[in-house]
Amino acid sequence: MPKHLQREIENLKKKLLALGAIIETAVRDATLSIEKRDSNLAQKVMDNDVNIDHTEVEIEEDCLKILALHQPVAIDLRFIVAVLKINNDLERIGDLAVNIAERAVFLAGQPKINIAIDLVNMAHNAQSMLKKSLDSLVNHDAKLAHKVCASDDTVDQMNRQMYLKVQEAILKNPEQISASIHLLSASRHLERIADHTTNIAEDVIYMIEGQIMRHKTEEYE
């Protein structure tokens, strides 16, 4: 690989990892803002979305510049294509974190609901998946990416449990239906975050193995 292309790719990796770290923080803070009923923390997440959007555009422009100037081939080309797709998924995760923060702002002004939920643990699982998917990209670790895809089932199961708990809570306390639905919405957003993280891992597998993993969930086992 020419040195200038190698330098551009290394810079791209750094930018993508930096964006990933910002996204991880957004997901964590959005979930904590619900747990702690902290509307200020939720607002911080919403305000930072502009920076996420700006970084996403910057990374996309860098990818297009590399494609135009260096015309990479083979693994380098697959890397740039993967980054373009991963960049988009990261931005969508940022949007979902904002959606969770919006639920937190609403819930902060409502009486506390007594539902035995664990959004923080659910968010922790999603964040762990995100970190591992980005690590698999940087380290060219297809095995780790496969593990990320397989772990999506855990978050799906937690979301299903959340649905049942909220359904039960609504039957017991129908006057809290709006707040209960907002909690369920937050859970659904976390489940979608895990889905986007799975997309990232699948793109890493494509980059390394040249294999498109969409619709091949049986291979995650």
Handedness of CA 150, 156, 158, 161 (dihedral sign): negative
CA distance 62 to 80: 10
- For the segment 134-171, what is each residue's pLDDT rounded down to a tens digit? 889 888 999 999 999 999 999 999 999 988 988 888 88
Report the length, in residues, of the chain: 221
Q: Could you tell me if 183 and 115 are in contact, meaning their C-beta atoms sit under 8 angstroms apart?
A: yes
CA distance 186 to 104: 8
Query: In the chain, pLDDT over 70 holds for what percent of residues?
Result: 95
CA distance 96 to 115: 22
Q: What is the largest CA-CA distance in the chain?
A: 66
Note the pLDDT of residue 165: 87
Query: In the chain, pLDDT over 90 holds for what percent of residues?
Result: 67
Every domain of the chain and the residues it spans:
3-220
Rg (CA), the chain: 19
pLDDT score of 129 more than 70? yes
Return the number of other C-beta atoms located less than 10 Å from residue 122's C-beta: 24
Give SS3 for 212: coil
Best CATH choice for the domain 3-220 from the list 1.20.58.220, 3.40.630.30, 3.40.50.720, 2.60.40.4070:
1.20.58.220
Instruction: Quote the pTM value.
Output: 0.91
- For the segment 77-116, what is each residue's pLDDT rounded down to a tens digit? 999 999 999 999 999 999 999 999 999 999 999 888 777 6
